């Protein structure tokens, strides 16, 4: 596995002259969506790869110990075992990339994953006043520490959109740097909330600033904005990742989140990563998909591949 991104000193000159060719971005996005399809056994293989990159998520106000336990069981056994046996993949220990919950549910996840033999599955916690970030910095940092103390190995933080919208990039950097320090050994995914940043130029600059501050991943959205993960935004972000890698030698991960629900969508996101960043970024340590319902459709497609028909709702366990 590549060395973790340590970040670097803030460099305002890196942000000067950033200009996004929006028509070109849109053309590239359209070409990806129009031409990239996979079928039959190749589709099944891609979908299993997508499963290993899912952050299986529940971020609801009515989360309980029971639904967290169900989530963790589904993370350990994401596809029905008889289907996995039919495609001779039942012994490969395919799990989701992580489970993602609020900080208050991290301890529940630790217990639930231990119970099902999934202690190796990472636990991600949203923190820092998710989804708005509109709480004092001291409180945001303490929330990170509490989640890590309870067993989270990944922290999804949100940036200060007010700073980004006003062009205070040093302010964004300083806060994210402090959050990285609070994470300790836990990996930090930095949520840009791209639907609230106002322009693609701001998306690119926010991506670079967060990577300078030590982000292990940059993530599109909280899933709570009006506009979440889109292919044009993703292209801007992954090209910032590519520029950062070429300049520093450190690989930073990418996580789209919000509105990704179909198996076809999952294949499109995999194709984007493969074509823009290369095969190495198709691994869970560099690519995640934030989703709560995507896994259901992937399992439905695997069921169809095995049986030749689509499953009725009662034939597939829900996450």
Q: Which residues contact 83 (CB under 8 A, 6 or more apart)?
A: 299, 302, 303, 306
Kindly state the helix (H) or strand (E) to which residue 62 belongs, with its residue range.
none
Output DSSP code: residue 308. S
Which residue shows structure tokens 């034939």?
315
Q: What is the C-alpha to C-alpha distance for residues 205 and 200, in angstroms, rounded to an integer?
A: 9
Judged on CB neighbours under 10 Å (0-12, 13-18, 19+), 246 is exposed
Neighbour count for residue 234 (Cβ, 10 Å): 23
User: Pick from 244, 315, 248: which is nearest to 18 by CA?
Assistant: 244
Residue 255 annotated to the active site: yes
The catalytically annotated residue of 74, 76, 205, 219 is: 219
The catalytically annotated residue of 74, 189, 251, 255 is: 255
Residue 219 annotated to the active site: yes
| Residues that are catalytic | 219, 255
């Amino acid at each position: 596995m590549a060395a973790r991104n340590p970040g670097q000193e803030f460099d305002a000159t890196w942000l000067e002259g950033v200009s996004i060719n929006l028509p070109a971005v849109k053309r590239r996005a359209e070409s990806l969506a129009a031409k990239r399809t996979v079928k039959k056994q190749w589709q099944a293989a891609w979908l299993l790869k997508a499963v290993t990159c899912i952050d299986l998520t529940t971020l609801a106000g009515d989360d309980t110990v029971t639904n967290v336990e169900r989530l963790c069981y589904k993370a350990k056994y994401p596809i029905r075992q008889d289907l996995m046996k039919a495609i001779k993949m039942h012994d490969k220990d395919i799990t989701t990339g992580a489970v993602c919950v609020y900080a208050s549910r991290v301890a529940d996840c630790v217990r639930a994953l231990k119970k099902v033999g999934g202690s190796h599955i990472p636990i991600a916690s949203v923190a820092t006043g998710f989804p708005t970030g509109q709480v004092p910095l001291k409180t945001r940092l303490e929330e990170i520490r509490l989640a890590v103390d309870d067993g989270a190995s990944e922290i999804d933080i949100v940036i200060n959109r007010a700073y980004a919208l006003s062009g205070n990039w040093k302010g964004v950097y300083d806060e994210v740097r402090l959050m990285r320090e609070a994470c300790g050994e836990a990996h930090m995914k930095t949520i840009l909330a791209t639907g609230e940043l106002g322009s693609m130029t701001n998306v690119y600059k926010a991506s670079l600033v967060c990577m300078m501050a030590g982000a292990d991943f940059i993530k599109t959205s909280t899933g709570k904005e009006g506009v979440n993960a889109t292919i044009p935004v993703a292209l801007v972000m992954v090209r910032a990742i590519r520029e950062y890698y070429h300049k520093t030698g450190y690989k930073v991960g990418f996580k789209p989140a919000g509105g990704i629900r179909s198996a076809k969508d999952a294949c499109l996101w995999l194709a984007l990563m493969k074509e823009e960043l290369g095969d190495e970024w198709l691994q869970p340590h560099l690519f995640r998909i934030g989703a709560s319902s995507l896994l259901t459709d992937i399992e439905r497609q695997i069921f169809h591949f095995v049986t030749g028909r689509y499953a009725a709702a009662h034939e597939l366990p829900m996450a």
